[in-house]
Amino acid sequence: MTRILLFLATNAAVLVLISVVFQVLGIEGILAENGVDLNLQALLVMSAVIGFAGSFISLAMSKFAAKRGMRVQVIEQPRNQAEQWLVDTVRRQAEAAGIGMPEVGVFDSPQPNAFATGMRRNDSLVAVSTGLLRHMSQDEVEAVLGHEVAHVANGDMVTMALMQGVVNTFVIFLSRVIGHTVDRVVFKTERGYGPAYYIVSILAQIVLGILASMIVMWFSRRREFRADAGGAQFAGREKMIGALRALQRQSEPEDLPGQFAAFGISGGMGQGIKRLFMSHPPLAERIAALESGRGVNV
């Protein structure tokens, strides 16, 4: 609840800031002088509805999408000792984290990876790949499970959805304002919208979307440090460090598809500008943070 209230307060402050900026820069006056009838408040509401709807519909469908898209096999009745151990470990960690028991599943992938998803802390899914079970020791798998349970306990799925909703809103809002302004002020379109509005709006949305994704990925990288700290708490710091070192030994682990990348254990590797779009910090940085005992408050 505190996280939601903080989000609402921050969002309200951002809206006030935008209104002040528009007034200080005289944008509303420029639009009015050129006969522009753009209703900024209505546009902002529409942008928020579209931006948050897309984000939360995606979140609401995340478990279903994971089970279908990644063919996650949920362990309903453990068939062997390994599956029983997975369920028991997640149950123990969930109890320590104070959350409801997540569903536990396995998906077929040669790459060692895992993820957590779900709309609520008490109704989530934790899944590991077959490659992870093959290439990691039991202690390392325990740490990975702790990392994913920490994502759930920290409410990272909802937090990221809120963050994505905010950036979606402003990408839509600002791209429409830019397109509208160019169409009316530069091309002097008097009624309706000319081709310039649609072309400029699309281009602006692409550019702003790229910039927005950098913000979301930066936030995601911060959450990973916190999830690593959670994994160290639930399984032990040395086990968490060992799991990250095991990932380092693998050759360039592949990212999980789409929305699941931000909640995986490894993420891809990047240099230069590619680093700005990484959902996870480099493994070396995560290991160094755990070894030094540095905490990350997000």
Residues tagged active-site: 148
- Which two tokens mark 125? 């899914």
127 dihedral zone (left: phi>0; alpha: psi -120 to 50; beta): beta
Closest CA to 140 of 224, 253, 235: 235
- Contact between 150 and 265 under an 8 Å Cβ cutoff? The reply is no
From CA 145, how far away is CA 240, in angstroms rounded? Answer: 10
CB within 8 Å of 118: residues ≥ 6 apart: 62, 63, 102, 124, 125, 152, 157
Distances (CA, A) of 118 to 59, 83, 97, 208, 228: 7, 21, 16, 28, 19
Q: Per the structure block, which two tokens stand in for 217?
A: 């990925």
Please give the backbone phi and psi of residue 126, each rounded to the nearest 5 degrees, phi first: -120, 125
Instruction: Kindly state the DSSP code that residue 251 receives in the 8-state scheme.
Output: S
Residue at 192: amino acid letter:
G
Burial of 135 (0-12, 13-18, 19+ CB in 10 A): middle
- 48: three-class secondary structure by DSSP: helix
